[in-house]
Amino acid sequence: DGGITQSPKYLFRKEGQNVTLSCEQNLNHDAMYWYRQDPGQGLRLIYYSQIVNDFQKGDIAEGYSVSREKKESFPLTVTSAQKNPTAFYLCASRSRDRGYGYTFGSGTRLTVV
C-alpha cells in the first residue's frame, strides 16, 4: 500500500546538536511538506517542495534545512540554530488533484534533553 514513512518515531536531541528526520513516500506525489505541531497551535509550515531539486521556505523555516534530491524523499534537518525544537513533526505529501488533502506520515516527536 502507498503511504508516507517517517522515522524515527521518537528522537532525542542534545543541546547544540543537529538531527535529521526522515520522510519517504511511495505515492508518486510531486509536492511534499514539513509541518510542526505544538500544543494549542495549528500546524505550521516549515518547508515545502513542489518538485525535485526545488524547495521553498514556509512560515517558520529558521533553524531548519531540507533537501529534495529524489521524488520519494524529503528529509528535514533541525539545526542547533533552532532554539525551541521540541515538537511533533509531520511530513506530508499531496496529490495534484485539488480535491484531495494531504497524506501525512505518522510523525516524529523530537525532544531536546
Residues near another protein (CB under 8 A): 35, 40-45, 88, 90, 98-107, 109
CB of 20 vs another protein, minimal distance in Å: 19
Residue 30 near residue 50 (C-beta atoms within 8 A): yes
**Distance separating alpha carbons of residues 97 and 95, to the nearest angstrom:** 5
CB-nearer residue toward another protein: 57 or 81 = 57
CB of 80 vs another protein, minimal distance in Å: 27
CB of 67 vs another protein, minimal distance in Å: 20
CB-nearer residue toward another protein: 16 or 99 = 99
Residue 58 near residue 48 (C-beta atoms within 8 A): yes
